A and B are shown apart, each in its own frame.
Chain A
Amino acid sequence: MVVDVRDLNINRGGTQAVRDVSFSIAPGEVTGLLGPSGCGKTTLMRAIVGVQIVASGSVTVLGLPAGHAKLRDRVGYVTQAPSVYDDLTVSENLKFFARVLGVSSEEVGRCVDAVDLSEQQDRVVRALSGGQQSRVALAVALLGQPRLLVLDEPTVGLDPVLRRDLWAMFHRLAEGGAAVFVSSHVMDEAERCDRLLLMRDGMLLADDSPSALLERTGASNVENAFLELVEHGSVR
């Protein structure tokens, strides 16, 4: 397993943002973390990347405690805010982070191509659209071919064609052996995942493949399955 979370509890801003969460993430799969805004998805992802102070429980990544120094070039993380330098060009951003990670400059071209920004690579990030800016952040996360990709709502506000292309890319990365962990608050993205974690109020409602989830709840889509689980309790 690439990620192993056991009995995790996190307090944030005086409330329990994550409660007794346990799950694991396998290599070669796209695992989706779905739930409404404010349910604790980002906090949980931050704990996996190792930038979140946790109250109790354990988070293990590639056999090491989350945030361990040896993991810092093996985990790619994209936050909801683009987290790149908006006063630099796309390729300047990529080159800078490539030097920090110590990866070759050929990687820069590969990652820019992967997010379809070759034409914009000499433009200053501030001048790009919101969707393009978040793709710059994604390109940075792809540098050095990390074993684990943690992507916080990477497809928000994107054009459907691009969204489809990005999901195809997530699956290609997973086929290459990486573990891809993607969050979304849009339930219709759930069906694109190999595995689903449904989250609400800091708790996991379900941990299953999309088809098994639909079968178990008797619902026609993931949105209804979510409602079914909320209203009639977990049927695990």
Chain B
Amino acid sequence: MNPRIMGAVAARVLNQLRHDHRTLAMLLVLPMLLMSLLWWMFDNAGPGFDRFGPALLALFPFIIMFLVTSVTTLRERSSGTLERLLAMPTGKVDFLGGYAIAFGVVAAVQSALAVALCVWVLDLDLVGPAWMLAVVAVVDALLGTALGLFVSAFARTEFQAVQFMPAIVIPQILLCGLFVPREQLPRVLEVISDVLPLSYAVDAMNSVAQTTSDKFGAVDPAVWNDLAVVAAFVVGSLVLGAATLRRRTA
């Protein structure tokens, strides 16, 4: 691991985003527009926004970062820049870490904006601390980044990479407790739901929104547990992703 190279990769990824105004604007504004849409939907329908809002704050960074990362990494693989970097003194960890840092920064800004909008403008009913919603959202975004890095190894074209979204992301959305509470799912699906990372991300968001405690930062310890599970998935996917980066190919 080389901090100089990891920093260079992170700075370069952010620099590329800076050149791409449209993507940058969409990354930052789209989650806020979608949360506003949700708020508007439940305008006359009682506590729906409070019920679905936290889960969607977990979903958006996950989905968006998954898509952005799988396409960017695939581009890096197919343009030959990945091969060039790996022929230089770049370690696999430097490459993956650089991406994780860059997209982590973007996710932090994105989540801070979306959380601020929900809590202070749209009046999301929140029992726990607001900053913890943003922390959970950043870890979710890292999960999206890590899974995106991993699946990009199995796509040859950007067209294929985008198809991994319905394959990897939508089942997790269906089973994460958003539509049917997880404990009411058929037993087999409940077990599957228990091993999918997004379930823990959504649980963490809901716990922050609905509970408080006298422990560290007024956060229920269950939230830290859920977050630790999601973080373990992030590390696991990054390790799997590293295994797909090859210096030598046939």
State the A residues within 8 Å of B (CB): 11-12, 49-53, 67, 69, 72-73, 75, 77, 79, 81-88, 92, 96-97, 99-102, 124, 140
Contacts and interface: CB of A to CB of B under 8 A. Distances in A.
Contacts of B20: 87
Contact of B15 (A12, A50, A92): A92
Contacts of B249: 51-53
Contacts of B83: 51, 79, 83
Interface in B170-216: none
B interface secondary structure, majority:
helix
Given A99-B8, A100-B5, A87 B19 contact: yes
B250 interface: yes
Nearest to A13: B250
Contacts of B7: 99
A52 B249 CA distance: 5
A49 B88 contact: no
Contacts of A69: 89
A72 B89 contact: yes
A102 B81 contact: no
Contact of A84 (B11, B81, B90): B81
B156 interface: no
B16 A88 contact: yes
Given A51-B87, A79-B80, A81-B79, A88 B247 contact: no
A51 B15 contact: no
25 contacts: A12-B250, A49-B87, A50-B247, A51-B83, A51-B86, A67-B247, A72-B88, A72-B89, A77-B84, A81-B79, A82-B80, A83-B80, A83-B83, A84-B81, A86-B79, A88-B12, A88-B15, A88-B19, A92-B15, A97-B88, A99-B7, A99-B11, A100-B88, A100-B89, A140-B84
Contact of B250 (A53, A75, A99, A101): A53
Nearest to A80: B80
Given A67-B247, A81-B79, A100 B87 contact: no
Nearest to A43: B250
A73 B88 CA distance: 6
B169 to A, nearest CB: 26
A51 B248 contact: yes
Contact of A77 (B4, B8, B12, B87): B87
A104 to B, nearest CB: 13
Contacts of B162: none
A83 B19 contact: no
A50 B87 CA distance: 8
Contacts of A83: 79-81, 83-84
B24 interface: no
B250 A87 contact: no
Contacts of A84: 81
B88 A101 contact: yes
B207 to A, nearest CB: 40
Given A50-B248, A88-B12, A99 B5 contact: yes
B80 to A, nearest CB: 4
